[in-house]
């Protein structure tokens, strides 16, 4: 049967093939890898986005704010195992800075996607995009709430999904202030106000606009988005598996 070296090479190749096809060994190797990943991310949480980046899922968020990007990244990496999620700022063009109502909130989120898609130098034409837009809505004529709209657009698979965050109550006097500070000649006045709820609530609570949710209701904006982002990622995965 051939030289000692050729027999050794044959045995080595067969052993490696046995390992590759052995389900038990594969599961043990994967478990060991996951344990190492868990240890690394426990010691250095900042490594988590790096370790779990990659794979077949690549998502662009229509914002450069980490409070919007990180909950999307964490949700997609939890649902898909690995996902690359980054952000790029994009604005709506025909909706007020502070949209009012579900329709204007959804339209503003969609327009952010359209604006980003027009910037072909920054993204690929087939890029999956997630957009987040916060709007205010009046319930029963005298109770105002802040709500977030999350929209996912996958042009290749033809998948469009929208979900909404929990409602955060806001004082009527803050809405009155937004209305008062919006110029009468503001060109987008029919869709909302020129002053955002974040700016007014931040002034009221003496915090930054990104921190007013935490200060007001004890839940950060990131956590509010995160819950809905989990739903969005799961809905997207289910659509892909059809």
Average model confidence (pLDDT) across the chain: 87
Please say whether the dihedral angle defined by the alpha carbons of residues 14, 17, 18 and 19, taken in this order, is positive or negative: positive
Stated pTM of the model: 0.78
Give yes or no for residue 160 having a pLDDT over 70. Answer: yes
> Above 90 in pLDDT, residue 53?
no
What sign has the CA pseudo-torsion 136, 139, 144, 145?
Answer: negative
- The confidence score (pLDDT) of residue 138 equals 97
Confidence of residue 207 (pLDDT cuts 50, 70, 90): very high
Whose structure tokens read 């698979």? 157
pLDDT of residue 6: 60
**Is a pLDDT exceeding 80 seen at residue 22?**
no
Q: What are phi and psi of 51, to 5 degrees?
A: -60, -40
From the number of C-beta atoms within 10 Å of its C-beta (0-12, 13-18, 19+), residue 232 rates as buried
103-116 tens-digit pLDDT: 999 999 999 999 99
Q: Three-class SS of residue 11?
A: helix
Backbone angles phi, psi at 240, to 5 degrees: -70, -30
Ranges of each domain in the chain = 54-171+219-241
pLDDT surpassing 60 at residue 1: no
- pLDDT for 32: 57
Q: Which CATH architecture has domain 54-171+219-241?
A: Alpha-Beta Complex (3.90)
What is the mean predicted confidence (pLDDT) over 177-187? Answer: 97
CB atoms within 10 A of CB 233: 25
Kindly state the greatest CA–CA separation across the chain. 94
Cβ atoms of residues 115 and 134 within 8 Å:
no
**pLDDT score at 30:** 57
Q: Give the Cα separation of 109 and 126 in Å (integer).
A: 18
């Amino acid at each position: 049967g051939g030289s000692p070296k050729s027999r050794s090479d044959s045995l080595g190749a067969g052993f490696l093939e046995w390992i590759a096809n052995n389900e038990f060994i594969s599961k043990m190797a994967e478990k060991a890898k996951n344990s190492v990943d868990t240890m690394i991310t426990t010691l250095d949480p900042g490594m988590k986005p790096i370790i779990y980046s990659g794979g077949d899922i690549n998502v662009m968020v229509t914002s450069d704010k980490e409070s919007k990007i990180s909950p999307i990244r964490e949700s997609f990496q939890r649902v898909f195992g690995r996902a690359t999620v980054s952000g790029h700022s994009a604005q709506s063009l025909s909706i007020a800075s502070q949209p009012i109502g579900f329709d204007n909130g959804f339209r503003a989120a969609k327009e952010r996607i359209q604006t980003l898609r027009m910037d072909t130098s920054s993204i690929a034409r087939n890029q999956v995009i997630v957009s987040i837009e916060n709007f205010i809505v009046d319930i029963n004529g005298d109770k105002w709430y802040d709500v977030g709209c999350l929209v996912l657009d996958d042009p290749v698979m033809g998948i469009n999904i929208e979900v909404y965050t929990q409602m955060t109550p806001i004082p009527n006097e803050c809405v009155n202030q937004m209305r008062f500070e919006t110029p009468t000649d503001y060109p987008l006045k029919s869709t909302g106000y020129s002053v955002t709820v974040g700016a007014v609530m931040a002034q009221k609570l003496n915090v930054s606009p990104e921190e007013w949710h935490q200060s007001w209701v004890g839940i950060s904006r990131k956590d509010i988005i995160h819950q809905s982002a989990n739903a969005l990622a799961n809905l997207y995965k289910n659509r892909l598996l059809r």
